[in-house]
Amino acid sequence: MDIHKIFFTSFPTKLYQWTVKLADSQGRWKPNSPIVWTPKLVRRLEVSEDKISHIVHHWLDHIIRGFITEFVVDTLVSYSEVERCFLKGPLGKYVKSLNTWIKMLLCEKRFIQSP
């Protein structure tokens, strides 16, 4: 089984469901507003410490850990081995960058103030 293929098949649905819940609870979902993403702006967003950023980090960590745990149970391989496999290579780098990508999405939807 390809762990990345399984993750990226289910992750968009989880992300959509979570953002809909967030939009319903916050009532702030606004149309896309164009933001020019410069490397400096992205770095500032990555290190931001607001409430929504903490929620994004916690939610994504929960999803990834749950996914790895489920994969460990299904394949009977150690957690650390699956985690190493999942977070290495180009797809692993992409998984690690999801936190920033989600914050960028929420910034464009005006859940997070532009840094």
Specify the pLDDT at position 79.
93
| 43 lies in some domain | yes
Place of tokens 């998984």: 95
| 53 lies in some domain | yes
CB within 8 A of 40, min separation 6: which ones?
A: none
d(CA 97, CA 115): 18
- Pair 65, 59: CB distance under 8 Å: no
Q: How many residues does the chain have?
A: 115
Residue 48, domain extent: 3-14+33-108
| 63 lies in some domain | yes
pTM of the model: 0.76
| 92 lies in some domain | yes
Q: How many domains does the chain have?
A: 1
| 67 lies in some domain | yes
pLDDT per residue rounded down to tens, the chain (115 residues): 578 888 888 888 888 888 887 777 665 555 655 788 899 999 998 888 888 888 899 999 999 999 999 889 988 889 999 999 889 888 889 999 999 999 988 887 777 777 6
Specify the pLDDT at position 1.
55
| 114 lies in some domain | no
